[in-house]
A and B are shown apart, each in its own frame.
Chain A
Amino acid sequence: MCSKRPVPTGRPYGLWGLAIAAIVGAGLTLTTRSATPAFFPDDPLQVDNDRALDAGKAVRIEGSNAYDFAEQTFLKPGDHEPRPAVNVNTIDEVPDSSWFTNRIGRRAMSLDEIVRGPNTLETPNIDEWPVVEGKSSGITPGYRVVAPDGRLYQVKFDPPSNPEMASGAEVIGAALYHAIGYNVVQGYIVDVDPAKIIIGHDATTVDLRGRKVPITQANVDRLLRVSAKLPNGKYRATLSRFADGKPLGYFKYFGTRPDDPNDIHPHEHRRELRGSRVFAAWLNHDDSRGLNSLDMLEGEPGRQWIRHYMFDFGSIMGSGSTTPQAPRAGNEYIVEWGPGFKTLATLGIYVRPWILVDYWEEAKSVGRFEGDFFDPVKWRPEYPNPAFDNMTPADAFWAARLVSKFSDEAIRAVVAKAKYSEPGAAEHIASTLIKRRDKVLRAWLTGVNPLVNARIGPDNVLTFENAAVEAGIAKPPTQYQYTLSSFDNATGVATPAIKGGVVGGTSGRIEAPRLEIGSPSPVLRDAAYIQVSVSTIHPDYPMWSNPVTFTFRRNGTQWETVGLDRTSKSVVKK
């Protein structure tokens, strides 16, 4: 039972109530005003200034191949909680940083620019550049030389069994990774004239007993004996310029550097590292692991920061540096229990499908590189990579869009940089890259609702692009359905003005999607932010019905795009 009790008017309940309401209100005010807004004034951030704090105390990190293999294979380090990439801006792009510089994804690059990559020199002639030390790591033979300007370079020779293979892979990989946006070192293909090799005055190497000893002509002769000799008597090699700064070892694909104040995003959740799985699959860069990266400390004392490099592309595209790559590479981890035990238990009657793949073997400069069997989704590096494991469809989509920027012409131009001399070699590499590119796009450009580049023009018309359609790997969808809302930036609440809007018809195709947002409803008239959630209806891609939410901010009479959300977590007022 309950009874209604009259409130005596002479008692001060009204004031107490007002006091309570004021306190609650104050609390709400605090909560509301201190909550992080959905969009800051500087969103979408185009540059993440991760050079702001001094990283001068960072120390060199050395790594062990065996430990890295065992750790990644058996311990699975890093955070594997499913979550979106943490370093993307509000339009789901990667801001420029010490890790990544938007190049082909943000602007048109000329063929010359793509081909040139990070290089600043024309093909250098290294005749009489003095040899100053031996090559300290890796399996390919080589040494280090100093250019007339004092810069240090590393010379790596091709194996005699596969001339041009590793050096070709190196320069192609560097050019492509550079255009994508990564930091890579400068690399050139050079012909080394043995008669013009000069041994520097204090040149040293590490001898067979691990001692530092002077480099002799016998050392050089021994090295040339295991290197590919050209018909003209010279030796083809890769010339790599040492990066600027002080070497700090490598970065891991998980965690952050504990000695770098600027490194705040766990690497396994960085978009450009997760998404690099796509590029690695495209190029069969199975050796894409932390130990093939490079951290360099740059800047003046007191204002130093770390630049992060992708490194060593000699074993991509079917090259294994000193031999053609193993058929397993890209198809299976070194240790993959399931197929291994099936093979063991059936005494080998079970045959892993990749074993039966045919490779083109007409040129020794081409390793085991093919595009027919290649399945980008099933592609594997040598052993697990935490960032690759965390790749989401959105990460893959971001990377696939970058891959889509490489035209056939651009790919052929980059391949020509390798100067393959054997008939058919360049064509095989280029056509395989194109074939694999198309598979990458079909796999990953279609995994999410592929709407991009949304804009509201002066005519109040919203336009956007369908990246999959633009790339030519999907037919135009049958329909776009949308909801137009005002958006409260402080609370994150969207208030729909138009629900269930439709563009196109179920029987037709939309060639140029345009959403008229003129004559807005009253809720939009004074809105500082508006949101448009667009679902794409396509019979072949049902997952495209998951909406992409674009957010626009009023800027005078214009609307600027500030948000792109493929996760659809926006709070919508019913």
Chain B
Amino acid sequence: MRRLKLIRVIALAVWVGVPVGADAQEPSTRAETLQREREEKAQNLTPPQQGRLERGLMDLESGRVFERLLNPAEGLYPKIGNITTGSGFSLGPGYRYPRLFGGQVEFSSFVAASFTRYWMIDARLEAPRLADGRVGVGMHAQRYDFPKEDFFGLGPDSSRDNEVIYGLRNTVIGGYGTYRPMTWLNLTAGVDYYNPDIDAISEDDSLLRVFSPADAPGVLVQPDFLRYSGTVEVNNRFPRGNPRRGGRYAIAYHRYEDQDVDLFSFNRVDIDLQHYVPIVRDRRLLALHARAVLTDADAGAEVPFYYQPTLGGPDDLRGFRHFRFRDRNTMLFQAEYRWEIFTAVDGALFYDIGKVAPRRQDFHLSEFERDFGIGFRFGTVNGVFLRVEGAFGSSAGAHFILRFGNVF
């Protein structure tokens, strides 16, 4: 019996060893092997999965939602940014319609307000590409209220301790024409009507609580003005939005005609020179900026303090408060060394000097206010979206700057 049992075990073992079943299961060709893998996968097909983030980004891109919402070429959009220097962050609705008269004329408008109660309404009708793009004309209307403009007094020796505020309301209506004989040359002429109004007493720290009317010409009476302008601009910056070479050299003459009291008519000349010196194939560059604003009142007249040029703030003397220095004439020199760190991220070392003076003959090249600093710019060749800077070395201490757009 035991022998029989063993024989059965052997027989079973031998039978099991016969690879009939195995041969039936194993593929006999490479193609069959692959086919079986595919058949196995076919049993477990699932639709492609995308996470919420990917779906969201995809929707934004495919619908061009960012572009359509934030900066559409047509329709409603949010006006985001600064209304003016010192206004702080502002927001409001904007509207564009670029297809009037077969696309020749564009209408644009916005209303914006800031958390510091600055606000502005602006409307424009422009035909920027007439005569094969060589001629542009436009008209605009604007109303704004800047309730907390800084004033430290006039002249280079004004004191920071005398900081006061005033409110400036204004209505501007005007028009302009531009002729571009060459792509790099712009000739512009325009006329504007101004209706300024100063509030110098309503706040505790208002201007007239510290300064006398003699210290702030025009604080008691604000006539309407007609302003005539002419500008010559040579612009061969490249790329235009975030220049790496070339320059912009502009001189503008403005004539402010007092329409009411004949006490505040004056001339103003703005000279603005930007020059970009590529050092290492546009990846390093020196950006140089010189600006002079010269005013000249008519005989017996004065330049109203609120139309006198200023220095100080995130766009010129960055180590100082907004409008820290104000007088009839200003001079500013800025030098920046910019270097590309990553695509879309530049570093910048900067040095600013500037001064104000009551008379042009006081513009000797000494006794400048100065600052220096370091910053980062985020953007593309088309423009700087954001800049973050620290300004140091001034008599006013360190300043941190977070600002949309380039410095100049």
Q: Which residues of A contact B (CB under 8 A)?
A: 12, 15-16, 18-19, 22-23, 25-27, 29-30, 33-34, 36, 40-43, 45, 48-50, 52-53, 57, 59, 61-67, 71, 89-90, 137, 207-210, 218, 222, 257-264, 326-328, 334-335, 340, 343-344, 347-348, 351-352, 355-356
Contact = CB atoms under 8 A, between A and B. Distances in A.
A25 B58 contact: no
A123 B77 CA distance: 45
A64 B62 CA distance: 8
10 contacts: A15-B10, A19-B10, A22-B10, A26-B17, A33-B23, A34-B22, A59-B47, A67-B58, A209-B68, A348-B337
Contacts of B41: 261, 263-264
Contacts of B68: 208-210
Interface string B123-137: 000000000000000
A57 B46 CA distance: 9
A43 B22 contact: no
Given A19-B6, A208-B73, A26 B16 contact: yes
B341 interface: yes
B261 interface: no
Interface string B369-405: 0000000000000000000000000000000000000
Given A26-B16, A29-B19, A64-B58, A355 B283 contact: yes
Contact of A328 (B7, B38, B57, B343): B343
Nearest to A206: B64
A22 B13 contact: yes
A19 B6 CA distance: 7
A327 B31 CA distance: 46
Interface in B57-86: 57-58, 60-64, 68, 72-75
A26 B343 contact: no
B57 A36 contact: no
Contacts of B48: 59, 61, 257-259
Contacts of A264: 34, 37-38, 41
A207 B99 CA distance: 12
A22 B17 contact: yes
Contact of A207 (B7, B14, B74, B280): B74
Given A18-B10, A52-B35, A53-B38, A261 B45 contact: yes
A209 B54 CA distance: 23
Nearest to A33: B19
Given A22-B13, A26-B13, A33-B23, A259 B47 contact: yes
Nearest to B74: A208
Given A29-B19, A355-B283, A340 B342 contact: yes
Which range holds the interface residue count of chain B? Answer: 35 or more
A33 B42 CA distance: 28
B26 A49 contact: no
Closest 3 CB pairs of A and B: A26-B17, A348-B339, A261-B42
B89 to A, nearest CB: 25
Contacts of A355: 280-281, 283
Contacts of B45: 57, 258-261
Nearest to A65: B61
B6 A16 contact: yes
A40 B33 contact: yes
A29 B281 CA distance: 72
Contact of A43 (B30, B283, B343): B30
Given A48-B34, A209-B72, A328-B343, A66 B6 contact: no
Given A207-B74, A209-B72, A355-B281, A222 B13 contact: no
A109 B27 CA distance: 36
B217 interface: no
Contacts of B38: 50, 52-53, 261-262, 264
Interface in B105-160: none
B383 to A, nearest CB: 15
Contacts of A62: 58, 62
Given A49-B35, A208-B72, A261-B39, A334 B62 contact: no
A208 B28 CA distance: 60
Contacts of A36: 26, 33
A208 B75 contact: yes
B341 A29 contact: no
Contacts of B47: 59, 258-259
Contact of A41 (B28, B62, B73, B349): B28
B212 interface: no
B150 to A, nearest CB: 33
Interface of B: 2-3, 6-7, 9-10, 13-14, 16-19, 22-23, 25-31, 33-35, 37-39, 41-42, 45-50, 53-54, 57-58, 60-64, 68, 72-75, 98-99, 102-103, 280-281, 283-284, 337, 339-343, 345, 347, 349
B270 to A, nearest CB: 32
A15 B343 contact: no
A537 B27 CA distance: 40
A12 B28 contact: no
Contacts of B57: 64, 66-67
A326 B342 CA distance: 12
A234 to B, nearest CB: 19
Contacts of B25: 34
A294 to B, nearest CB: 15
Contacts of B14: 22, 26
Contact of B54 (A48, A64, A260, A327): A64
B6 A45 contact: no
A49 B29 CA distance: 13
Given A64-B54, A210-B64, A334 B343 contact: yes
A334 B341 CA distance: 11
Contacts of A59: 47-48
B13 A351 contact: no
Contacts of A26: 13-14, 16-17
A285 B370 CA distance: 48
Nearest to B58: A64
Contacts of A257: 48
A343 B340 contact: yes
B22 A218 contact: no
B71 to A, nearest CB: 11
B26 A259 contact: no
Contacts of B9: 19, 22-23
A107 B122 CA distance: 70
A15 B1 CA distance: 13
Contacts of A12: 2-3, 6
Nearest to A263: B41
A16 to B, nearest CB: 6
Contacts of B2: 12
A106 B63 CA distance: 44
A20 B16 CA distance: 13
A343 B339 contact: yes
Given A264-B34, A335-B342, A41 B283 contact: no
A127 to B, nearest CB: 25
Contacts of B39: 53, 261
A263 B74 CA distance: 45
Given A12-B3, A258-B45, A19 B54 contact: no
A62 B37 CA distance: 27
A16 B41 CA distance: 46
Given A62-B58, A259-B46, A67 B342 contact: no
A53 B36 CA distance: 11
Contacts of B49: 258
A140 to B, nearest CB: 15
A217 to B, nearest CB: 10
B232 to A, nearest CB: 26
Nearest to B346: A348
